[in-house]
Chains A and B, each alone.
Chain A
Amino acid sequence: MSDTRFRGRLFGPGLPGSGAPATGRWSDGGSLQVAEEGAAGRLLQADHPAVDAAGFNASSLRISWQGEDGAYAFIIEAESERTICCAAAPAAANRHLAEAAGVTTRLERRFRFGAVLLGLILILPLFGIGLFLGNSDRVADWVVKRISTEHEAQLGELILAQTRLQMKVVDRGPAVEAISAIGSRLTTGSVHRYRWFVADRPDINAFAAPGGVVVVYSGLIRTAGSAEELAGVLTHEIAHAELRHTLRGVIKSLGLHALAALVIGDVSGSVFAETATRLTELRFSRDAEREADAEGLRRLVAAHIDPAGMIGFYEKLAAEQRLSPPAILSTHPATGERLESLRQEVSLQKGKWQPLPVDIQSIKNSFK
């Protein structure tokens, strides 16, 4: 008879429903003696009891047997007591005890595996976003290369349709003709079929959607002092379109939306429409702006248009900014530094400039 005792709770007929504290000890033959605590406690003897893992999370050891008056169970919950019980167990009970311990361990292992898996599933989209943010330029480049000119034109059409909903856009009249005349000189040899529009808005703004849709706000034309200044803005916007900056912006924004939707569910009804709507407010990076400046200047020079107009307009914007920032500046931050570098570039350009056959004053008058 082993003298090692272990504490647990005894359940069975005649005992409280929530069990009574008791101590147990193994005898050499593989039977268990359980003594209920207290003066009037009963002493029970179980020959060949069944042993298994039970209870919440199978973390308790259950030694159960069929007594004369019903089923009894001795539950050992505390880990220290379970260890004592296992150490003192006779050979006959060892196998069952090991099995019970195995059940508990397996459950624990599966839970950990599940928790890790769940953690990974939760982290994966975040990881994806991180990866995308880190490589968004490369990803956007890769995608942009695979978009055909036709698709780009379709996207431009969509943006134009969205713009029409928000403001009055005209596609004929003296202003459109003038812009078209300047623009076609700047876009000779382009793969896109350019179309020119004037929006009736007081803001000083203009944007080029993918696929050759260029929209100039009437406020910008009013501000322009000469046709060359108008050409300076146009060439910048055309450069954005030719360099596919807008398209890249759309792709970046779409990709981000798609990933965000993956993480937090559908953000809005139609991600695409929203992106298209907000396109006019799309911000380009500083590098993209500088790139557009350089490309725009190159186009101006190639078209024999005096690039001084570009500088002139930027200076006008800078002056305007001091009073109240024009809309175009929120999307096209012509910082002093950029203006300075542009001035230097322009001063290097020597060429024979051909005056533009456009009377800006008569266009301005046509708005009345």
Chain B
Amino acid sequence: MAMDVIDYEIFGSEMQYVEVELDPGESAVGEAGGMMYMQDGIQMDTVFGDGSQQQGGFMGKLMGAGKRLLTGESLFTTVFHNESNGKRRVAFAAPYPGKIIPVHLTDIGGTLICQKDSFLCAAKGVSLGIAFQKKLGVGLFGGEGFIMQKLDGDGMAFVHAGGTLKEMVLAPGESLRVDTGCVVAFQPSVDFDIQFVGKIKSAVFGGEGFFYATLTGPGRVWLQSLPLSRLANRIILSAPAAGGRSVGQGSLLGAGVLGGILGSDE
């Protein structure tokens, strides 16, 4: 399978975007709505499914699109094709604060399992599939749900994660306990399981929930420090429209009446 080799550059620190350089005739696939800008000579084409051209026929395309629907993504992907004679650039922006992870699929054996809707863009030919989490306990309590995304191919793929990113290499048998929801992506050789926190007291009052996610090596894993849902939750909680209070920086006065008077700009 001939994958398009693409050069890239990631800009920004906390709210990033990736600029991809396409040689003449090369293509990249992006999540619909993820494009930030593109230069002249790049043709945008919306395709049904993931544009990997692996599944032939109408039914194959329909299946691919259905799978994408399950992962919570749009039925369509956008293919950016360089039809000019020179190198052209197209950029894709991450939709929330966090980091973009470039992954060369060949380096990790061709397959990456990642959190659903974390896909940003990839070289054309990378297939975006779904992988069901078949361990029921992990699906229910692992924080990533039953449906995960599987990227297959041998080109570059870009996924994004919330907050700060931690890439780790787990040696054979090495295991890591992770807060549920913080696992972004991992190699399929990594064992993803859950573990009870151990003590009822910790489970109830510890604030970490009842289970950790455990990742057991060998293989490479990517963790995010701030899952989007957690960020969204905090924002909603402190939004005045949703009944939140405008609280100052931990100051007693700021949190009280004074804060309400001084801090209000409505």
Contact = CB atoms under 8 A, between A and B. Distances in A.
Given A54-B189, A58-B191, A19 B134 contact: no
Interface residues of A, number: 29
B219 A18 contact: yes
B113 interface: yes
Contact of A11 (B111, B131, B188, B219): B219
28 contacts: A9-B109, A11-B189, A11-B217, A13-B171, A17-B169, A17-B219, A18-B169, A19-B187, A54-B216, A55-B188, A55-B189, A55-B191, A56-B186, A57-B131, A58-B135, A62-B189, A64-B172, A70-B172, A71-B172, A71-B174, A72-B172, A73-B189, A75-B189, A107-B134, A108-B134, A110-B134, A111-B132, A111-B135
Interface of B: 107-109, 111, 113, 131-136, 169, 171-174, 186-192, 216-220
Interface string A66-79: 00001111010100
A60 interface: yes
B136 A110 contact: yes
A156 interface: no
A68 B105 CA distance: 31
Closest 4 CB pairs of A and B: A17-B169, A11-B218, A73-B172, A111-B134
Contact of A57 (B111, B133, B186): B133
A360 to B, nearest CB: 59
A56 B188 contact: yes
A73 B170 CA distance: 11
A44 B108 CA distance: 21
A107 B134 CA distance: 7
Given A12-B218, A62-B189, 13 more contacts: A9-B189, A11-B171, A11-B218, A17-B169, A18-B108, A19-B108, A19-B187, A55-B191, A56-B186, A56-B191, A57-B131, A73-B218, A110-B136
Interface of A: 9, 11-13, 16-19, 21, 54-60, 62, 64, 70-73, 75, 77, 107-108, 110-111, 114
A196 B186 CA distance: 75
A54 B214 CA distance: 13
Nearest to B186: A56
A56 B132 CA distance: 10
B173 A19 contact: no
Contacts, number: 87
A53 to B, nearest CB: 9
A18 B109 contact: yes
A77 B108 CA distance: 12
A21 B110 CA distance: 11
B107 A16 contact: yes
B190 A55 contact: yes
B172 A107 contact: no
A18 B173 contact: no
Contacts of B132: 57, 111
Given A56-B186, A111-B136, A19 B171 contact: no
Nearest to B187: A18
Contacts of B172: 11-12, 64, 70-73
A95 B192 CA distance: 25
A12 B171 CA distance: 6
Contacts of A11: 171-172, 189, 217-219
B131 A56 contact: yes
Contact of B191 (A21, A54, A108): A54
A18 B187 CA distance: 8
Q: Which of B108, B135, B218, B219 has the most CB of A within 10 A?
A: B218
Contact of B189 (A19, A108, A111): A19
A49 to B, nearest CB: 11
Contact of B173 (A59, A71, A75, A111): A71
A114 B132 CA distance: 12
Contacts of B109: 9, 18-19, 21, 77
Contact of A73 (B131, B173, B220): B173
A60 B134 contact: no
Contacts of B173: 64, 71, 73
Q: Which of A11, A12, A110 has the most CB of B within 10 A?
A: A11
Contacts of A56: 113, 131, 186, 188-192
Nearest to B103: A18
A151 B217 CA distance: 67
A321 B2 CA distance: 73
A344 B189 CA distance: 84
Q: Which of B113, B136, B174 has the most CB of A within 10 A?
A: B136
Nearest to B132: A111
A110 B190 CA distance: 21
B188 A60 contact: yes
A19 B218 contact: yes
Contacts of B217: 11, 73
Contact of B135 (A12, A57, A70, A72): A57
A18 B109 CA distance: 8
Contact of B220 (A17, A54, A58, A114): A17
A232 B135 CA distance: 69
Contacts of B111: 77
Nearest to A117: B136
Nearest to B193: A58
Q: Which of A55, A64, A73, A110 has the most CB of B within 10 A?
A: A55
B55 to A, nearest CB: 19
A12 B111 CA distance: 19
